[in-house]
Amino acid sequence: MGSYFAQCKTTFYCYDQNSVWAAADAGVRRHIDYTCLMFERDYMIIMDSDELKAWHEVGHATVCLHLGGDLDRIEFLEGNSQGFAVARGCYVMPDKERSVACGGFAAEFYLLQAGDIDGVDLNDPKDVAEVSARVFSNAWKDHQDFIGRTVTEDNDFTKEEKEEFMNYAIIRVAPIFDLYFSRMKLVVSELLAARSIEGLRMRELL
């Protein structure tokens, strides 16, 4: 599923459907070099866990609030067999909607690049390819919102659409989390404990 991820501190690599590795542009690499220095690894998150799902939705909501929008709440969908969570009522001006759509992907990138996802070796191309597919899959609906069209089996994302989404999330959206990361942890903890958090409460925590 698409292009995605990184080899920390050196080069950003895209993994496409033909298993071709290619260096992304220098602007992405510079941001990665900077991001790698931003973290202290004080805990590890399991891939596909409720915690990572919470981070994904908190990513959307943080971008929404940062850009002056309103948020109703974030909640886990109880009774859903896959344990999905959702950020409801992320209201922003139309010109900011694409940034909000990238928030979940950008949050997962931020955690992965920090080395906070358990069991992912960023120096192993197989690990990078696997996590690439999973993170793009997690953002499947977000990616459609970003490009403004419905994707079908016969009309998949184009290579250009994948690269635009990825680069926009990494270069323009992920740096927002530099301002909020420690407080986002508090939001995630409260969301995991209560299974829901109101937008006003999240605004207080941020």
Averaged pLDDT in 10-residue chunks for the chain of 206 residues: 36 36 38 42 80 96 97 88 82 96 96 88 85 91 96 92 95 97 96 96 97
Quickly list DSSP for 156-190: PPPHHHHHHHHHIIIIIIGGGGGGTHHHHHHHHHH
Model pLDDT, residue 82: 59
Model pLDDT, residue 199: 96
Model pLDDT, residue 163: 93
Model pLDDT, residue 16: 41
Model pLDDT, residue 42: 58
Give, rounded to a whole angstrom, the gap between the first and last alpha carbons of the chain.
Answer: 33
**Residue whose C-alpha is closest to residue 52's, from 188, 190, 170, 200:** 188
Q: Alpha carbon 61 to chain centroid distance?
A: 11
| DSSP helix/strand/coil, 100 | helix
**Residue whose C-alpha is closest to residue 198's, from 89, 92, 74:** 74
Residue 164's identity, in one-letter code, is E
The model's pTM is: 0.81
The dotted CATH code for 6-205 is: 1.20.58
The Cα–Cα gap between 120 and 72 comes to: 34
**Residue whose C-alpha is closest to residue 38's, from 94, 106, 113:** 113
Model pLDDT, residue 139: 95
Model pLDDT, residue 55: 97
